[in-house]
Amino acid sequence: MVSITNRTKVKVKTAKYRSKSSTKWLQRQLNDPFVKKAHELGYRSRATFKIIEIDDKFHLFKQGKKVADIGSAPGGWSDIAVKRVGKGNVAAIDILEMKPIDGVKFKQVDFNLDEAKEFLIQALNGKADVVISDIAPNTTGNQSVDHLQIMALVEQAYYFAIEVLKTGGSFVAKVRQGGTEASLLSEMKKHFSTVKHFKPNSSRKESAETYVIAQGFKE
């Protein structure tokens, strides 16, 4: 379990050319103990702690297992995956650039394209044991719109995952709190032995994000 005690809070004044929302975001970042700890440990982002907690609880990454990371940039999840499964066993894709990680094969490509699936299967020399996705759209501030957007991405990631997963494999994806839509959850339960929701301690308390962990893929 990842648990970090907060420290003395830093107050940030609104600068002349900085909006109130930007000031609020900066203050939150400066006071976030997971942001500080990620910097101290050399992690690429605070999201790294989330996949550590998920794996510690659900035991997804075992030495030699093949992992596909969808929407991998900046690389925090791939970084932990390769440390736990071994070099050459992780392949990652994102429409954004990602700085290289030793032992991780990366391609800058939209995961909705056929070449994304082809790259992952070729890079892993076969299908994946685990597909992980921390993809999230830019938020609008409108909860209904944000929910629909992230659920659309989750659905796309899910259908992508079942095409590249081995029998018995696992799928992890970010969703909005309250779980997946009933139809998608029902679909997942048809193809996986277990489907659970989990909110890591490193996920901000005020955040509506949680994660769906589906294990035991049945083709």
Which positions ≥6 away from 34 have C-beta within 8 Å? 2, 4, 46, 49, 202
129 three-state secondary structure = strand
Cα–Cα distance list, 207 to 106, 139, 177, 202 (Å): 29, 12, 8, 11
Q: Could you tell me which of 75, 89, 80, 35 has the C-alpha nearest to residue 53?
A: 80
Q: What backbone phi and psi angles, to 5 degrees, belong to 35? A: -65, -45
Q: CA-to-CA distance for 44 and 97, rounded, in angstroms?
A: 14
Active-site residue, from 50, 65, 127, 174? 174
Q: Could you tell me which of 129, 143, 88, 134 has the C-alpha nearest to residue 111?
A: 134
Q: CA-to-CA distance for 43 and 91, rounded, in angstroms?
A: 19
174 flagged as catalytic: yes
Running DSSP on this structure, what letter comes out for residue 16?
Answer: T
Q: CA-to-CA distance for 168 and 31, rounded, in angstroms?
A: 41
**Which residues are annotated as catalytic?**
174
